[in-house]
Amino acid sequence: MDLPQQVIELDDLTLRAFNGEADLPELFRVIEESLEHLRPWMPWVAEHSLGRTTDFLAGRAERWASGDEFTYAIVLDEAIVGACGLLRRDDTPDNAREIGYWLHPAATGRGVATRTARALVEQAFRLQGIGYVEVVHDPANVASGAVPARLGFTEHLRRPAERLAPAETGEVQIWRLTRRQAGTLTAAEAC
């Protein structure tokens, strides 16, 4: 099985596979500082604790090796400013992957999420058999939806979803980018 790169260098931005316990103090601090920013959209924030962050980091290597989830620390100016991932949920078809991301509020509005998502798209299409990539978010989370829009994803569908975080509307917006669309975007960027 082909696996994505564990370290992706993007000028001043680096995406790197989490380093278990070594990343625990910094990741926990970044989450703590970001709680109010993340709380409206991220259900896991309600159960945030040192133990949960420890468990999250402990499972990364196994999930990476299985091909189910490739989770990266987003590092800007040598500091963790968020996390992102390329994942396959239980109901995700074998030929698809979903991209997720979150940032510390001080890292927003600087193109970090867009560059991160672009790099994850490239990694997804390096995997054998992947035909499309999706971004799923609550339609009220306008900032999260701006990222796939900037990258040429198309609005695929909306569907009902359980409200798990305070600002969620009970619906999700799914954006999709096919391998063919991604190839067209890459060719256009090269010109």
Strand-strand pairing, 132-137 and 96-103:
parallel
Across the range 5-34, mean pLDDT stands at 96
- Local structure of residue 185 (DSSP, 8 states): H
* Burial (CB count within 10 angstroms: exposed 0-12, middle 13-18, buried 19+), residue 11: exposed
Confidence of residue 188 (pLDDT cuts 50, 70, 90): very low
**pLDDT given at position 184:** 54
Q: CA 53, CA 102: separation in Å to the nearest integer?
A: 15
Angle at CA of residue 140, ends 137 and 145, nearest 5° = 45
Instruction: Write down the residue that tokens 């190839």 correspond to.
Output: 183
**pLDDT given at position 75:** 98
Q: What is the pLDDT of residues 68-107, one digit of tens each?
A: 899 999 999 999 999 999 998 877 778 899 999 999 999 9
Element (H, E) at 169: none
Across the range 158-164, mean pLDDT stands at 93
CB-CB contact of 103 with 115 (8 Å): no
- Local structure of residue 45 (DSSP, 8 states): G
Give the sheet arrangement for strand 154-160, strand by strand: 7-10, 13-17, 69-76, 79-87, 96-103, 132-137, 171-178, 154-160
Q: CA 12, CA 182: separation in Å to the nearest integer?
A: 24
**pLDDT given at position 185:** 52
Q: CA 177, CA 118: separation in Å to the nearest integer?
A: 11
Q: CA 191, CA 57: separation in Å to the nearest integer?
A: 40
